């Protein structure tokens, strides 16, 4: 009975935390970083304001947790490196397929975070604590990309130094780049994925573009949401 009560209490706490994070996401998206008050987030989440502070301590930490929570699909761990798709990327022997999977799932994360694009930009510029929180997320991203590039190079040498490869992935698969093409210029998400995949394979793979490499790109994108665009362009 005691264990059942503890599990029930833990589940209830997790549900409350999730509700607060979803309320914060919606409030940040509507009001921006400075316009979103902790009191408003608490009301929206159906909790007392002290509960927000007790759980997240301050607005900067709350934003950091919101980004981690919103970036994950339902039932996924909030840490990217613990997600099944990331593990499958590291285990994939074909570097082109690795890039395709990174683009597929990485872009899905960017799409989920898109409503917070302006909030993140403003917070990073105007609030030191928020800037530090966002910088920490960026450091984790680069760490994940470094693992991917290192794993890929074990099968096929990357055409450029690892650090430079990580720089390119970090820019191509970034919120500002996604928002510029999809949100501002109206690209379809699949179009952005196809463009990202094409750019990354051109930059990272050592072989020149030929009919054979074009066919390899088509194979690498098989079963993913941008497959038809790669096949058409190839």
**CATH code for the domain in which residue 155 is found:** 1.10.357
The per-type count for the chain, helices as H runs and strands as E runs, is: 13, 0
Residue 39 lies in a domain: yes
Q: Are residues 157 and 203 in the same domain?
A: yes
Q: Which two tokens stand for residue 1?
A: 């009975």
50: exposed, middle or buried (Cβ count in 10 Å: 0-12, 13-18, 19+): exposed
Residue 93 lies in a domain: yes
CA angle 155, 226, 204 (to 5 degrees): 30
CA 27: distance to chain centroid?
Answer: 20
Whole-angstrom distance, CA of residue 101 vs CA of residue 151: 14
Q: Are residues 99 and 141 in the same domain?
A: yes
The count of other CB atoms within 10 Å of the CB of residue 223 is 7
| Domain assignment of residue 43, given as a range | 1-57
pLDDT of the chain along its 234 residues, tens only?
455 566 577 888 888 999 999 999 999 999 999 999 999 999 999 999 999 999 999 999 999 899 888 887 777 777 888 888 999 999 999 999 999 999 999 999 999 999 998 888 888 888 888 888 888 888 999 999 999 999 988 888 888 899 999 999 999 999 999 999 999 999 999 999 999 999 999 999 876 556 677 788 888 999 999 988 886 543
pLDDT of residue 40: 96
Q: Are residues 26 and 80 in the same domain?
A: no
CATH number at residue 20: 1.10.10.60
Q: Is 187 helix (H, G, I), strand (E, B) or coil?
A: coil
CA angle 74, 148, 222 (to 5 degrees): 65
What residues contact residue 184 under an 8 Å CB cut-off, 6+ apart?
none
Q: Are residues 84 and 51 in the same domain?
A: no
Q: Give the number of domains in the chain.
A: 2
């Amino acid at each position: 009975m005691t264990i059942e009560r503890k599990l029930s209490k833990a589940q209830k706490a997790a549900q409350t935390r999730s509700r607060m994070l979803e309320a914060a996401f919606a409030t940040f998206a509507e009001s921006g970083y400075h316009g979103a008050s902790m009191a408003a987030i608490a009301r929206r989440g159906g909790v007392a304001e002290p509960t927000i502070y007790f759980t997240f301590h301050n607005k900067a930490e709350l934003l950091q947790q919101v980004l981690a929570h919103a970036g994950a699909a339902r039932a996924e761990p909030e840490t990217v490196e613990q997600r099944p798709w990331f593990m499958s990327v590291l285990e994939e022997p074909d570097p082109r397929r690795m890039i395709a999977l990174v683009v597929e799932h990485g872009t899905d994360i960017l799409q989920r975070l898109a409503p917070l694009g302006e909030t993140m930009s403003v917070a990073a510029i105007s609030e030191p604590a928020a800037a530090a929180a966002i910088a920490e997320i960026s450091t984790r991203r680069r760490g994940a990309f470094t693992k991917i590039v290192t794993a890929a190079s074990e099968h096929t040498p990357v055409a450029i130094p690892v650090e430079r490869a990580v720089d390119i992935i970090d820019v191509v698969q970034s919120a500002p780049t996604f928002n510029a093409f999809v949100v501002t210029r109206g690209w379809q998400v699949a179009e952005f994925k196809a463009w990202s995949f094409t750019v990354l394979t051109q930059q990272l793979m050592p072989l020149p573009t030929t009919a054979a490499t074009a066919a390899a790109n088509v194979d690498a994108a098989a079963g993913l949401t941008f497959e038809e665009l790669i096949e058409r362009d190839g």
